[in-house]
């Protein structure tokens, strides 16, 4: 088995519906470097752990299992890997407001009040 950890991470990003740009930003690399990252079959434990946290998936466990299957990880203990709990408490959304700058400054407080009010009606809160 030719396991490529970078490719496994790429597939999980796609499965989660996250953009590569968003993942690269959270991971702390450029989109261009991310493309090279996907081709790597060995990355640091810190990078595997960070990808696991961002995508809420245990790549450490998957990577170690792949090593064992290849016969390269005979030294790996049989202890269960800890599950990665999602640390994200909310959802981040951004949008761009297009219009006259004077109108923006004049009406933005009302827009925020309306947004907060409507979000509350739907069971959301805005921090």
Domain ranges within the chain, ordered by starting residue:
5-70, 90-127
- What distance, in Å, lies between the first and last C-alpha atoms of the chain? 47
pLDDT tens digits for range 41-56: 778 888 999 999 999 9
- The DSSP secondary-structure symbol of 57 reads S
Q: Is the dihedral of CA 55, 60, 63, 65 positive or negative?
A: negative
pLDDT at 18 over 70: yes
Could you read off the pLDDT of 65-111 as tens digits, one per residue? 777 765 554 544 555 555 555 555 666 677 777 888 888 778 878 88
Q: Which CATH superfamily is domain 5-70 in?
A: lambda repressor-like DNA-binding domains (1.10.260.40)
Question: How far is the CA of 127 from the CAs of 38, 93, 113, 115, in angstroms?
Answer: 35, 12, 12, 12
How many Å apart are CA 45 and CA 63, to the nearest integer?
10
Taking the whole predicted model, whether its pTM rises above 0.75 is answered as: no
What whole-number distance in Å separates Cα of residue 90 and Cα of residue 109? Answer: 23
Q: CA 36, 59, 55, 86 torsion: positive or negative?
A: negative
| Cα 43-5-26 angle, rounded to 5 deg | 70
Residues 57-72, buried b or exposed e (16+ Cβ, 10 A)? Answer: bbbbbbbbebbeeeee
């Amino acid at each position: 088995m030719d396991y490529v950890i970078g490719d496994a991470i790429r597939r999980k990003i796609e499965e989660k519906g996250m953009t590569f740009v968003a993942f690269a930003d959270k991971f702390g690399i450029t989109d261009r470097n991310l493309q090279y990252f996907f081709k790597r079959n060995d990355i640091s434990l810190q990078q595997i752990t960070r990808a696991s946290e961002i995508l809420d998936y245990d790549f450490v466990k998957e990577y170690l299992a792949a090593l064992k299957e290849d016969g390269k990880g005979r030294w790996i203990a049989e202890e269960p890997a800890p599950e990665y709990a999602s640390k994200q408490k909310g959802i981040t959304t951004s949008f761009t407001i297009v219009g006259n700058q004077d109108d923006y400054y004049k009406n933005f407080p009302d827009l925020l009040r309306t947004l907060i009010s409507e979000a509350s009606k739907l069971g959301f809160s805005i921090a």
